[in-house]
Chains A and B, each alone.
Chain A
Amino acid sequence: MAKILGGLTTSHIPAVGNAIHNGLFDDPYWKPFFDGYPPIRAWLDEHKPDLAINIYNDHGLGFFLDRMPTFAIGAAHEYRNEDEGWGIPQLPPFPGAPEVSWHIIESMVEQEFDITSCQELPVDHGFVVPMQLFWPGAPNNPDMPRTIPISANTVQHPIPTLKRALDFGKALRRAIQSYPEDLKVVVLGTGGLSHQLDGERAGFINKEFDQYCMEKIVDDPEALTKISRMELVEKAGAQGTEFLMWMMMRGALGDKVVRRHSNYHIPISNTGAGTMLLECVE
């Protein structure tokens, strides 16, 4: 049977991709951020997951406003990182796990989550940057697990509620655990934390709220479901709504988790950057 080992969270800022490309790991601006990752890599090295479910939000590469899925699940053999407008160097494709994707899709719809299945899905920085942070050299890292991307809409309101995101994760947990083959699975929740790119309030970052979210998501994610979506926009910034991905990830980990590692740093680009490793307790 498939088993969920734990959850990894990280911000997925495009500038991080450039910093990795340029090797700025010891640069004074970047060091406090990159220093948050070696303990998580050590844990991955010890546990060597077979599958990484990468919950991210597309930023206008995979989907446009003509057809905007609220929840989309990749079901492809591989996922390509295509040009998203800035001409940054693209990576080789990430290997998928379509047979597991279809199992998850069947189970999610059975559990009444009506999702969109994607046999082709170009993936942007929201998916790629976390992979590069956790598996340096990705996808060419020898320990690179196969992957399934799951994207939730944060581009256009109405976006899902925090409760729905957590419930999605809970259903995803049942879907993964019912997969009949032995598989070690990690679930990534990427995006956030507080940031706002648009409007006169551009540059808004809310340290106190980010820290509250990082605290509550460990032992009391239900408390976070009391936050309304407009309250989330107000307190986390217009793009801080990406915290929904963390809620989805958390739902997939079960009731009790142990926080193995946590890092928070302001600013990376325009964002409060948070990283966590939460280990499942059986």
Chain B
Amino acid sequence: MDITEFDHHSPIPGTTIFDGKMAMKGYALNKMCYSFNGAAARAQYLADPEAYMEKFGLNDEQKQACRDKDVLAMIAAGGNIYYLAKFAGIYRLDVQDIGAQQTGMTKEEFKEKLRKAGD
């Protein structure tokens, strides 16, 4: 279903508004990530990621983004950061790790950027 006619958000650079359109697009991916609240699910994913992604019906774009642990690609594929944070948790990545990855910085550079915001 095309619901582009309901897109009333003016773009904010570097920011995806997670609205109904994105929620529909990313449902399977987000549902998988939501399951990672449970330790057993996290272990199951790590044991066989392909089977686990298949079980939740991820599409190819979502699967590849997960294989690559590529946060920007996961967002483009409909991922919501609140659920993606649980995916990141599997690999012990914190919000500075994923911030650095998305901005193309080292973690130290990213933390410095955060510190500078206080000046």
Which residues of A have CB within 8 Å of B27? 65
Please give the residue numbers on chain B whose beta carbons come within 8 Å of chain A beta carbons, in ascending order: 9-10, 12-20, 23, 27, 30-31, 33-34, 36-39, 42, 71-72, 75, 80-86, 89-90, 94-96, 98-99, 102-103, 110, 113-115, 117-118
Q: Determine whether the beta carbon of B14 is less than 8 Å from that of A158.
A: no
Given contacts A60-B34, A60-B86, 16 further A-B contacts (CB under 8 A): A65-B27, A65-B31, A86-B89, A87-B89, A156-B18, A158-B19, A198-B71, A198-B102, A200-B72, A202-B98, A203-B99, A230-B12, A239-B81, A267-B114, A270-B96, A270-B99
Q: How far is the CA of A86 from the CA of B97 in the complex (A)?
A: 15
- Interface readout for A54-71 with B: 1 if CB under 8 Å, 0 if not? 000001110011100000
Q: Shortest 10 CB-CB distances between A and B: which pairs?
A: A201-B14, A266-B118, A85-B86, A200-B14, A205-B117, A198-B81, A267-B114, A157-B19, A202-B99, A85-B89
Q: How far is the CA of A239 from the CA of B12 in the complex (A)?
A: 14
13 contacts between A and B (CB under 8 A): A15-B95, A61-B37, A65-B34, A83-B37, A87-B39, A197-B81, A197-B95, A202-B98, A203-B99, A207-B117, A234-B15, A266-B114, A269-B94
Q: A84-B86, A272-B117 are in contact. Are A201 and B15 (CB under 8 A)?
A: yes
Q: A65-B23, A270-B95 are in contact. Are A199 and B102 (CB under 8 A)?
A: yes
Q: How far is the CA of A156 from the CA of B30 in the complex (A)?
A: 12
A10 to nearest B CB, angstroms? 18
Q: Determine whether the beta carbon of B83 is less than 8 Å from that of A157.
A: no
Which residues of A have CB within 8 Å of B16? 198-199, 238
- Interface readout for A198-220 with B: 1 if CB under 8 Å, 0 if not? 11111111110000000000000
Considering residues B23, B42, B95, B113, which has the most beta carbons from chain A within 10 angstroms of its beta carbon?
B95
Considering residues A86, A158, A207, which has the most beta carbons from chain B within 10 angstroms of its beta carbon?
A86
Which residues of A have CB within 8 Å of B86? 60, 84-86
Q: Determine whether the beta carbon of B15 is less than 8 Å from that of A196.
A: yes
Q: Determine whether the beta carbon of B39 is less than 8 Å from that of A266.
A: no
B67 to nearest A CB, angstroms? 19
Which residues of A have CB within 8 Å of B36? 85
- The answer to whether the Cβ of A155 comes within 8 Å of any Cβ in the partner chain is yes
Q: Determine whether the beta carbon of B37 is less than 8 Å from that of A155.
A: no
